[in-house]
Amino acid sequence: MIRRAAVALVLAASAFAMIPGSPAQARACRIDFECYTTYYSDASKTTVVGSLYESCTGTRYFDGVRTGYLTFQETRCF
């Protein structure tokens, strides 16, 4: 009985480990800042596949695909 439980636990853990994780999230845009996040296809960051713009009023504009390869820029609002 204990052996079956151990085998079931190992199988469940290995199946869970095979599930791909979600893409990395850009950090939150702070209050009174305008933020722009660019998403790339791979670590070389040569091909842009998506972008997120967050305005000073809090409006968000997203286009494309989110990936784990990104750059984040912020500028203080006036």
Q: Is residue 41 part of a domain?
A: yes
| The pLDDT value given to residue 30 | 92
Using an 8 Å Cβ cutoff, are 34 and 56 in contact?
yes
The answer, yes or no, to whether residue 69 has pLDDT greater than 80, is yes
Q: Is residue 56 part of a domain?
A: yes
What's the domain count of the chain? Answer: 1
52: left (phi over 0), alpha (psi -120 to 50) or beta: beta
- Average pLDDT of the chain to the nearest whole number: 83
Q: Is residue 17 part of a domain?
A: no
Taking CA 73 as the corner, what is the angle to CA 68 and CA 78, rounded to the nearest 5 degrees? 150
Query: What predicted TM-score, i.e. pTM, was given to this entire model?
Result: 0.65
| The pLDDT value given to residue 2 | 74
Q: Is residue 73 part of a domain?
A: yes
Q: Is residue 12 part of a domain?
A: no
pLDDT tier, 28 (very low <50, low <70, confident <90, very high otherwise): confident
pLDDT tier, 33 (very low <50, low <70, confident <90, very high otherwise): very high
Print the domain residue range for 50.
24-78
35: number of Cβ within 10 Å = 19
Q: Is residue 58 part of a domain?
A: yes
Q: Is residue 6 part of a domain?
A: no
